[in-house]
Structure 1
Amino acid sequence: MSTRPDPVAAADDEARALARSLIDTARHAALAVTDPADGTPGISRIAIGRAPDGGFLTLVSALAPHHAALKAHPACALMLGDVGDKGDPLTHPRLMVKARATFLAPDDPARPALRDHWLIHQPKAKLYVDFGDFAFVRLTPISALLNGGFARAFRLSPEDLG
C-alpha cells in the first residue's frame, strides 16, 4: 500500500509574509471554542488585533458564550481571512491558528496601555471597553495552517507568525 505525500508544506518566506499580512489586516476573526456545558464545539465572530508585543488580543464580554468557554477550556482556534468580492471563496487565503487564551486581570498594570493600543485599531470599542464585564484576552499561538489558495497549504510555527 502506498502512502500519499503530505500536501501541506513547511512555511517558506512567501507563506510567512502572506500569513503576517492576513494577521496585520484582520479586524475580526472566527473563534472556535469548546462549550463547557456539553463539550461540543462553538464558534463566534470576535474583534481581533495585535498587542504591542505582537501577540493576538481580543476584548470579550462576560455575557458572550465564548467568555465562559475560554475560561473553562483555554484551547481555541482562530480563522482569519476575508473572502474577496469575486471568485470561488475557497481560493481566497485564510489562516487557521490554534491558540491558548489567557485573560488579563482588570487590575493588571498592562491594561491601560493595552486599552489605548486597542482603541487605535478598534475605535468603536470606546463605547464599551471600560464596562466591568469586558476583559482583554491574549490568544497565544500554538501552531497555524495557512491555506494560500489552491494547492498552497503551509504549516507555520508561532515564530513564523511574528
Structure 2
Amino acid sequence: MTSAPDPIRPTDDEARALAQRLIREARFAALGTLDPESGFPAVSRIALGLGPEGGLWSLISGLSAHSRALRADPRAGLLLGEPGPRGDPLTHPRLSLRAQAIPLPRDDPRHPALRAHWLKLYPKAQLYIDFGDFQFIRFRPLDALLNGGFGRAFRLSPADLALEDHPDADHA
C-alpha cells in the first residue's frame, strides 16, 4: 500500500506574508476550547486584535463558557480569515492557530496601554471594558496551519507569524 503524498508545502515568504496579513486584518476569530465538564470541543466567536507591543489579544468575559474552559485548560484553537463575497468559501485563505491562552492581570503595568489600544480598535467596548469580569487574554501561538486556497497548505512556526514585536512579549 502506498501512502498519500503530504499536502503540506514547504513554508516560504509568500505563505508567511499571507499568514501575517490574515493576523493583522483579523478583528474576530472562531475560538476553540475544551469544555471542562464534558471534554468535548466548543467553538465561539471572539473579538481579536494585535496589541500595541505585538501579540494576539482578546478581551473576554470571565462569565463566558470559553473563559471557564480556558481557565481549566489554556490550550486554544483560533481560526482567522473569512470567505470573500463570491466563490467557494473553501478557496479563500484561512489560518488555524494552536495557542496557549495567557490572562493579563488588571494590575499588570501593560494593562492601561492595552486598554487604550483596544478602545481604538473597538470603541463600543467602552460599554463593558471596565466590568470586573472582563480580562485581556493573550494567545501565544504554538504553531499554525495556513490554507492559502486550493492546494496551498503550509505549517508555520511562531517565528513565521511575527506576532511578537516587543522584547518582553513572552513574559505575559
TM-score band, normalised by the shorter chain? over 0.9
Structure-1-length-normalised TM-score: 0.97
- Determine what percentage of the aligned residue pairs are the same residue: 58
| Helix, strand or coil at the partner of 1:36 | coil
Matched, 1:157 2:157: yes
Matched pairs, number = 162
Query: Gaps spanning 5+ residues in structure 1: where?
Result: none
Q: Does the Cα contact within 8 Å between 1:106 and 1:135 map onto a contact in 2?
A: yes
Equivalent in the alignment of 1:22: 22
C-alpha displacement of 1:5: 2.1
Equivalent in the alignment of 1:136: 136
| Helix, strand or coil at the partner of 1:24 | helix
Q: Does the Cα contact within 8 Å between 1:81 and 1:94 map onto a contact in 2?
A: yes
Q: Does the Cα contact within 8 Å between 1:32 and 1:44 map onto a contact in 2?
A: yes
Q: Does the Cα contact within 8 Å between 1:10 and 1:156 map onto a contact in 2?
A: no
C-alpha displacement of 1:98: 0.2
C-alpha displacement of 1:105: 1.0
Alignment of 1:1-162 (within 5 A): 1-162=1-162
- Tell me which amino acid in the other structure corresponds to 1:137: I
Structure-2-length-normalised TM-score: 0.92
| Helix, strand or coil at the partner of 2:100 | strand
CA RMSD after TM alignment: 0.9
Query: Gaps spanning 5+ residues in structure 2: where?
Result: 163-172
Moved over 3 A (4+): none
- Tell me which amino acid in the other structure corresponds to 1:46: I
Work out the CA distance in 2 between the residues paired with 1:48 and 1:34: 19
